[in-house]
Chains A and B, each alone.
Chain A
Amino acid sequence: MSELIFEPEAAGMHTPVAPVDATHGILLYLEGVTVSFDGFKAIDNLSLYIGDGELRCIIGPNGAGKTTMMDIITGKTKPDAGRVFFGQTIDLLKLDEPAIARIGIGRKFQKPTVIEPLTVLENLELAMSGAKRLRGLMTTRMSGEERDRISAVLDQVGLNEQAQRLAGVLAHGQKQWLEIGMLLMQEPRLLLVDEPVAGMTPAEMERTAELLKSLAGNHSVVVVEHDMGFVRSIADQVTVLHQGRVLAEGRLDELQVDPLVIEVYLGGEDAHH
């Protein structure tokens, strides 16, 4: 056993390179997914499809199952029933969190989670795909190609000036962008972004909207968000979750006049959350 772990592949430091097959235009399939905690159905027979390159917003009152859904896609929670596929061929229920991260699903937490004692640059280096083999980890240097990749992402998230600063001293909004940058270093096909603009100033929100819109196309982006103004500024397709299932799906302006949606969410108590 002690030999095995020094083997890069056995140590799980190997990145599987099964290319995701999205030839039917759908990147993520959730079908009939159900999960319950102590008898409470957090997700109830949920079916959801995310298109390749799509930017989708998911809204819903607290407890609608948004975070649980992200937990299922990223392997943190295993559902009681249902199928979750990445492209045509990859069964996500058979993989654990690191494996799912490596096949190209990046997740941003609700609370900005960056490694505060490390610099912005080091945070991005940490997230870089391909660096996670054991041999890749046992180095103190960075190759020119790796440097280029990091500076491209720094440009994309607008943190070029901050590259050498510690992540812990960044402003709240900058931490959120850094975390998005870390996801991009993983070269994901799908980005799951949980409440990206909570606590942001209007100017920061605007930049975040631009950033997420620029990512769509090359990546599929799923954004869970409470802020209706922000949702309106980015999404063409919106899914409303309620009590663990899809209540409605469509364009935001259509949904806003849907009496069902108004009752459970938009017009209800939770609208200002």
Chain B
Amino acid sequence: MRFPRWLLSDRTGLVLLAVLMIIGIGVPALNLLVPPDHPLHLTAYTVTLLGKYLCYALLAVSIDLVWGYMGILSLGHAAFFTLGGYCFGMYMMRQIGTRGVYGDPVLPDFMVFLNWKDLPWYWHSFDMFWFAALMVMVVPGLLAFIFGWFAFRSRVSGVYLSIITQALTYALMLAFFRNEMGFGGNNGLTDFKDILGYSIHADETRIVLFVLSALALAGGYLACRWLVSTRMGRVLVAIRDSEDRTRFLGYRVEQVKTLVFTFSAMLAGVAGALYVPQVGIINPGEFAPLNSIEAVIWVAVGGRGTLVGAVVGAVLVNYSKSWLTAALPEVWLFALGGLFVAVTLLLPYGLIGLLRRRRETAS
């Protein structure tokens, strides 16, 4: 097998892929093959936690593509993540069937509770796995396309665009909180039972979800890495650094932006869809503006415009969060804010930038 040059010259990326391969095989082995009383055994809880980190990492990669390379600071990317999650949650809700509290074969519990008689039209077909799996990308992609079409064509950019993306995710949060929307109001979607007939509580299903998350991250990374190494990648950098120059060179800047923004939203949607079955719930709180801002901080910490940095940042910050919210819960937000300020001031290229600088001074 011959590797293309764009992949071979990407050293940190190869390291990332190797690590993903090792944990993609090692984590399931430590869970399934090592007996539970052995010190090296990984509990299902840990596997799921790691799987969650991988989903966050894919979200971070999608943000880095638009922010790090194209200069669009989206403070609403968690909206695409959450929409993907809702799409897959709808599939799992429809799989519950008569096992719900009210035992209605078609309507999810919350609809019975609201006295609804029929399934809303947009819930149709979500009982089919392939359809839900498609919508996981189509719904976030369509929203991003429409949003991008209007925002980029009107040449909204910089901080104004960031504020609009915040408003977008906030508006979605408010809308999804309403029971009338038909997405379970503030409780969201939960009480999932199975996917394609496999119980989501079974260790084996959790392992499969973990491996799929690792594969999705690897695939998303490769797609973004390839894109930024093509001529298109150079156009993205040109748009980031001098939008006018790029336009006067004959590029339709707004269309390139819309295209890449849409692709990025689809990746975020996939991340959300893999996240929801692992945590077992999706509710409107995931649309909270703070979530999107946190995701941007992961990218900044790891190193903007490096893709690998996005993965590193997402995993490290979330690991610290898991640890700190258990040890000193009230400190977390201050720590997060402090981290962002520190990284912005001291490490403009994040942790990956620090590594590169080390290597350059060493050689």
B230 touches A113 (CB 8 A): no
Question: Which residue of the partner chain, among B5, B230, B241, B249, contacts A137 with CB atoms under 8 Å?
Answer: B230
A140 touches B235 (CB 8 A): no
Task: Identify whether the interface residues of B are mostly helix, strand, loop, or mixed.
Answer: helix
CA distance A139 to B255 in the complex (A): 18
A5 within 8 A of B: yes
Task: Give 5 nearest A-B pairs by CB, closest first.
Answer: A12-B252, A101-B250, A137-B232, A102-B250, A113-B245
- Which residues on B sit within 8 Å (CB–CB) of A186? 249-250
A11 touches B248 (CB 8 A): no
Most buried by A among B6, B149, B250: B250
Most buried by A among B4, B231, B247, B252: B231
B230 touches A139 (CB 8 A): yes
CA distance A92 to B237 in the complex (A): 28
Q: Which residue of B has the minimal Cβ distance to A113?
A: B245
CB neighbors of B among A103-130 (8 A): 106-107, 109, 113-118, 122, 125-127, 129
A115 touches B245 (CB 8 A): yes
What 0/1 pattern do residues 137 to 162 of A give for CB contact below 8 A with B?
11110000000000000000000000
Shortest Cβ gap from B2 to chain A (Å): 14
CB neighbors of A among B41-74 (8 A): none
Most buried by B among A98, A109, A127: A98
Task: Identify whether the interface residues of A are mostly helix, strand, loop, or mixed.
Answer: loop
CA distance A122 to B235 in the complex (A): 10
A17 within 8 A of B: no
A1 within 8 A of B: yes
Q: Which residue of A has the minimal Cβ distance to B226?
A: A140
CA distance A113 to B244 in the complex (A): 9
What 0/1 pattern do residues 225 to 247 of B give for CB contact below 8 A with A?
01001111011011001101101
B142 within 8 A of A: yes
What 0/1 pattern do residues 242 to 269 of B give for CB contact below 8 A with A?
1011011111110100110010000000
Q: Which residue of A has the minimal Cβ distance to B4?
A: A140
- Which residues on B sit within 8 Å (CB–CB) of A140? 4-6, 226, 229-231
- Which residues on B sit within 8 Å (CB–CB) of A12? 252, 255
A227 within 8 A of B: no
Most buried by A among B145, B232, B245: B245
A98 touches B250 (CB 8 A): yes
B235 touches A97 (CB 8 A): no
B230 touches A2 (CB 8 A): no
What 0/1 pattern do residues 30 to 60 of A give for CB contact below 8 A with B?
0000000000000000000000000000000
Q: Which residue of A has the minimal Cβ distance to B247?
A: A97
CA distance A116 to B253 in the complex (A): 18
B237 touches A125 (CB 8 A): no
CB neighbors of A among B135-188 (8 A): 141-142, 145, 149
How many chain A residues sit at the interface, stated as a range, is: 35 or more
A2 touches B234 (CB 8 A): no
B250 touches A115 (CB 8 A): no
CA distance A253 to B280 in the complex (A): 83
- Which residues on B sit within 8 Å (CB–CB) of A2? 141-142, 145, 262
Give me the interface of B with A, judged by CB distance under 8 Å: 4-6, 141-142, 145, 149, 226, 229-232, 234-235, 237-238, 241-242, 244-245, 247-253, 255, 258-259, 262
A15 within 8 A of B: yes
CA distance A9 to B64 in the complex (A): 28
B248 touches A115 (CB 8 A): no
CA distance A74 to B145 in the complex (A): 28
B249 touches A127 (CB 8 A): yes
Given the interface pairs A11-B259, A113-B244, A140-B229, the reply to whether A125 lies near B234 with Cβ below 8 Å is yes
CB neighbors of B among A193-217 (8 A): none
CA distance A98 to B149 in the complex (A): 17
What 0/1 pattern do residues 164 to 194 of A give for CB contact below 8 A with B?
0000000000000000001000100000000
Shortest Cβ gap from B5 to chain A (Å): 7
CA distance A99 to B251 in the complex (A): 8
B258 touches A115 (CB 8 A): no
B145 touches A139 (CB 8 A): no
Shortest Cβ gap from B271 to chain A (Å): 20
CA distance A101 to B259 in the complex (A): 21
- Which residues on A sit within 8 Å (CB–CB) of B251? 98, 132
Shortest Cβ gap from B249 to chain A (Å): 5
Question: Which residue of the partner chain, among A13, A99, A115, A125, contacts B241 with CB atoms under 8 Å?
Answer: A115
A115 touches B238 (CB 8 A): yes
B231 touches A1 (CB 8 A): no
Q: Which residue of B has the minimal Cβ distance to A97?
A: B247
Question: Which residue of the partner chain, among B230, B244, B245, contacts A138 with CB atoms under 8 Å?
Answer: B230
Q: Which residue of A has the minimal Cβ distance to B5?
A: A140
B231 touches A129 (CB 8 A): no
A136 within 8 A of B: yes
Shortest Cβ gap from A195 to chain B (Å): 16
A118 touches B259 (CB 8 A): no
Chain A to chain B contacts (Cβ below 8 Å), 11 pairs: A2-B141, A2-B145, A99-B250, A101-B248, A113-B242, A122-B234, A125-B234, A126-B231, A126-B234, A137-B235, A186-B250
CA distance A122 to B249 in the complex (A): 14
B238 touches A126 (CB 8 A): yes
Shortest Cβ gap from A133 to chain B (Å): 10
